[in-house]
Amino acid sequence: MRRFAFLLTTFAAGLLSAATVPNFSEHVYPIVRAKCQGCHQPGEIAPMTFTSYRDTRPWAAAIRTAVSRGTMPPWHADAQASRAFHNDRSLTAAERETLTSWVAAGAPEGPARDDPAPVSTDAPDKAWRLGKPDLVLKVPSFQVPAKGDVPYTFFIFPTKLEKDTWIHAAEWRIDKRRVVHHMNAFVRPPGSSYVEGYPAGVAFVPTIAQRRNGRQGEGAFARRELLLGYEPGYRPIPWGPRQGKLIPAGSDVVFECHFDTNGEETVDASELAIYFAKEPPVERVVTLSVQNMIFTIPPGDPAYRSDATVTFAEPVRVVSVQPHMHLRGKAMKIEAVDPAGRKAGVIDVPRYDFNWQTTYFLRDPLPLAPGARLDCAAWFDNSPNNKHNPDPRTAVKWGDQSRDEMHIGFVEIAFDARVDADRLLR
Ligand code: HEC
């Protein structure tokens, strides 16, 4: 009887393993292609490539660790407390299981593939992922010194567009990723007070007051509008069909650049591609900063909370969200509150990582009625337990450098293209 049971178990185990030991060619490669190769291929941001069995096999143990810890693929939104996102690159439980049991089984290759594994690429033209641009704006070359802080550096680029121009996408090509902390491209309509008086094409460093203070009665969007930002982890994604951003006739694009030093003098020459809309969109998209600039994080505080909110005066739809904090950023949550006070989670990032400032695109844009709010709560860890903390002994306020902090929820919203953007908020 015992012997029979033993036989039966061995037999069952044999069947099970034959059925479930995944191999690279048939089971692992399709996952790697869909969820990893966007970054793990030549010329992309990951330092190692996963384009064939040969180049993936040496990383098997590291893949098991990264996948079971959830550090790869990088994706920080909690699925339960967030909306569904169309650029979600996280693994399903089944995919995770396939990858880890493949490694546990000795990472077998499976049937040899006769063709070399093709590299999946979403870049029709290697230079630009979104294809041939209609307009390329070159950020003038900038010599980044070897050490020290580089203050936010600005450049003005006159677009010379003669009529109001709708664009359906824009894409950054960052030249030296190691030294570019972030870049923002702002649209500055004619007559705006934003960093006015500086010449085009040359680097300048305005004071904080010059950057911030608008003219009396000047609308925020009449002054400037964020066209597109680049932060680590950035991927270009066009806005939806019949949606676009507006570049009014005669606007300038103002580049705000934050360079980091990394021990070597380097010249950066990044570029921004613009894609014109084929037809005028039905909805205009703008980027709001749901932010709080007034806070002091006490030294050592492990979970300081800051709150920000906006209330809408017009119907809008939330298109994307991007939590932005610096090195002490710990968590961020954005909730929609309808005029009756009912709450709905938009995004919850329980473990924020400064190196992955992902923009999360809602699969179904979230409609908000006039009177609805977006509440954005941020938590900061200024304790010594935060391994990224530059100095747990200091009180930390809002500021430009990574050792200072920021609390911004960048929120892209879409609304009736005929509505004046400066009437959106209450
Ligand atoms: C959005 C870009 C991106 C995606 C998608 C991505 N990775 Fe990575 N991966 C990186 C970058 C960048 C690094 C190097 C820096 C780092 O470790 O954070 C990396 C590093 C790694 C490492 C090395 C970590 C270590 O411990 O040294 C492994 C293993 C890895 N990735 C596995 C994967 C797997 C498996 C997938 C898909 C299931 C994946 N990655 C998807 C960007 C990505």
Q: What is the 90 CA–ligand 1 centroid distance (Å)?
A: 12
Ligand 1 atom 36, closest CA: 36
pLDDT tens for 315-328 read 999 999 999 999 99
The pLDDT of residue 153 is above 50: yes
Rounded to an integer, what distance in angstroms lies between the CA atom of residue 51 and that of residue 40?
8
The model's confidence at residue 37, banded by pLDDT at 50, 70 and 90, is: confident
Which pLDDT value is given to residue 57? 96
The model's confidence at residue 123, banded by pLDDT at 50, 70 and 90, is: very low
Ligand 1 atom 1, closest CA: 39
Ligand 1 atom 35, closest CA: 63
Average pLDDT, the chain: 91
pLDDT tens for 224-239 read 999 999 987 788 889 9
The amino acid present at 413, given as its one-letter code, is I
Which pLDDT value is given to residue 53? 93
In the chain, CATH 2.60.120.230 sits at 123-278, 282-426
Residues 67-75: what's their mean pLDDT?
94
- CATH top-level class of 282-426: mainly beta
Q: What is the 176 CA–ligand 1 centroid distance (Å)?
A: 20
Which pLDDT value is given to residue 372? 98
Which pLDDT value is given to residue 345? 97
Q: What is the 122 CA–ligand 1 centroid distance (Å)?
A: 18
Closest atom, ligand 1, to C-alpha of 62: 29
Q: What is the 379 CA–ligand 1 centroid distance (Å)?
A: 26
* pLDDT higher at 383 or 7: 383
Q: What is the 73 CA–ligand 1 centroid distance (Å)?
A: 6
The model's confidence at residue 116, banded by pLDDT at 50, 70 and 90, is: low
Residue whose CB lies within 8 A of the most ligand 1 atoms, among 27, 31, 32, 39, for a mutation test? 39
Residues contacting ligand 1 via CB (< 6 Å): 35-36, 38-40, 45-47, 59, 62-63, 66-67, 72-74, 89, 91
198 in Cβ contact with 206 (< 8 Å): yes
Residues 271-291: what's their mean pLDDT?
96
Residue whose CB lies within 8 A of the most ligand 1 atoms, among 64, 67, 72, for a mutation test? 72
**Residue-wise burial string across 349-370, b where 16 or more C-beta atoms lie within 10 A, e elsewhere:** beebebebbbbbbbeebbebee
Closest atom, ligand 1, to C-alpha of 47: 14
The model's confidence at residue 10, banded by pLDDT at 50, 70 and 90, is: very low
The model's confidence at residue 114, banded by pLDDT at 50, 70 and 90, is: low
Distances in Å between the alpha carbon of 378 and those of 97, 312, 333, 391? 33, 21, 7, 19
Ligand 1 atom 15, closest CA: 46
Q: What is the 375 CA–ligand 1 centroid distance (Å)?
A: 32
Residues of the chain above pLDDT 70, percent: 92
Q: What is the 70 CA–ligand 1 centroid distance (Å)?
A: 10
381 in Cβ contact with 334 (< 8 Å): no
pLDDT tens for 73-107 read 999 999 999 999 999 999 999 999 999 999 999 99
Residues of the chain above pLDDT 90, percent: 78
pLDDT tens for 155-190 read 999 999 999 999 999 999 999 888 998 999 999 999
Ligand 1 atom 3, closest CA: 39
Q: What is the pTM of this model?
A: 0.88
The amino acid present at 42, given as its one-letter code, is P
The model's confidence at residue 309, banded by pLDDT at 50, 70 and 90, is: very high
123-278 placed in CATH 1.10.10.60: no
Q: What is the 67 CA–ligand 1 centroid distance (Å)?
A: 9
Q: Pairing mode, if any, of strands 283-291 and 243-247?
A: parallel
422 in Cβ contact with 219 (< 8 Å): yes
Contacts of 420 (CB under 8 A, 6+ apart): 219, 221
* pLDDT higher at 335 or 127: 335
The pLDDT of residue 349 is above 70: yes
The pLDDT of residue 266 is above 80: yes
